[in-house]
Amino acid sequence: MQIKIQSLKQSIICELPNELFEQWHDYYFWAEYIPAVSITETKSKPELIIATGKKFKWIDNNITITGSEQDIRSTIVIIGTLLEQKRQESRLYQIHGAAIGYGTKGILLIGGMSGLGKTSLAIALQNSPKYQFLADEKFIIDGKKHTIVAGCPISKDNLKTDKASIHHRTTKKAAKISLILFPIITNEPEITAHKYDTLKLFWHLYEESSRDIRGLNFLFNDFTETRNSLDTNGIMNQRLTDIKKIADKVPAYYIRGNIASVSRFIHNLMKEST
């Protein structure tokens, strides 16, 4: 059977055995790895052929999987990267981090690694008036309109308790990027904050917006195999222009402290910008 896997109007058509469809369709990792993903049946010509076999293999447009959870996740990683290439051709860039809405404005919480407190900060903020939890782990920005247009729901790995109250909102209306933060949440009573200069912000933001399309970070099959970059000169040059404009216009801060003090700092910045 053929299925269409879509994210923000970009899609990959896959052919796979019928018995795999039920296992694939409701698998939680789709939503956690690919922002705004949907899976529907289709009659269109497939771009990717999925078959079952004794060993995972990816050769050109053919993927062989054993049906194990690891192989399914590897295939989702591959499809996610192929979709990212198509999105970037439309000036839509995937970023690793969390995103919060403040009315019609968007706040990006980004950083180099997991465990710095981005999700915890986003959860804390969304319990305050005017804030909405937009995305966890991954979100997509529109390089032309400078908005957050889609994001993933909170990851199971980041949900510390089933009792946490998360009011996640899909960005049906794009949130204008108004603030970019590089937070580190600690138990320190004092807050440390300084504004990023434009060049430093551009460098970090460009790295984040290109990591899922570059060969260097394109790892799959339980991080045992690599694939050549899907980046192109056309995509790179347009991304360079788009990210530079965002870095030139949007204020950004490095901030370190406990959740309460960092939340107050953010709230004061957002109040001043209204």
Per-residue pLDDT of 174-205, as tens digits, reads 899 999 999 999 999 889 999 999 999 999 99
- pLDDT surpassing 50 at residue 244: yes
Q: What angle do the packed helices 118-125 and 259-273 form, to 10 degrees?
A: 60
d(CA 43, CA 45): 7
CA distance 216 to 81: 13
Amino acid at 54: K
Q: Between 166 and 129, whose confidence is greater?
A: 129
**Residue 220 bridge partners (DSSP):** 225
Query: Which residue type, as a one-letter code, is found at position 189?
Result: P
94-108, 182-196, 223-237: the lowest-pLDDT one:
223-237
Q: Among 15-24, 42-51, 79-88, 164-173, which stretch is predicted with the lowest mean pLDDT?
A: 164-173
| H or E stretch at 84 | helix 69-89
Nearby residues of 28 by Cβ (< 8 Å), 6 or more positions away: 156
- State how far the Cα of 117 lies from the Cα of 259, in Å rounded to an integer: 9
Residues 197, 252: Cα–Cα separation, whole Å: 8
CATH of 93-273, one of 1.10.1060, 3.40.50, 3.20.20, 1.25.40: 3.40.50
Closest CA to 126 of 244, 10, 253, 267: 267
**Structural element, H or E, at residue 13:** strand 10-15
Average pLDDT, the chain: 89
Residue ranges of E strands in 222-267: 225-226, 252-257
**What pLDDT band is residue 166 in, cutting at 50, 70 and 90?**
low
What is the SS3 assignment for 249? helix
Cβ(97)–Cβ(121) under 8 Å?
A: no
Q: Where in the chain is the domain with CATH 3.40.50?
A: 93-273
The average pLDDT across 28-40 equals: 93
* Identity of the residue numbered 271: K
What integer pLDDT is reported at residue 163 of this predicted model? Answer: 45
| pLDDT given for residue 168 in this prediction | 54
Whether the pTM exceeds 0.85: the reply is yes
Distance CA 105, CA 130 (A): 10
> What one-character DSSP code corresponds to residue 169?
-
What is the token pair recorded at 200?
A: 């430093």
Which residue bears the tokens 């590897």? 74
To which residue do tokens 């053929």 refer?
A: 2
Question: What is the DSSP code (8-state) at residue 90?
Answer: T
Residues near 205 by beta carbon (within 8 Å), at least 6 away in sequence: 95, 110, 180, 243, 246, 247
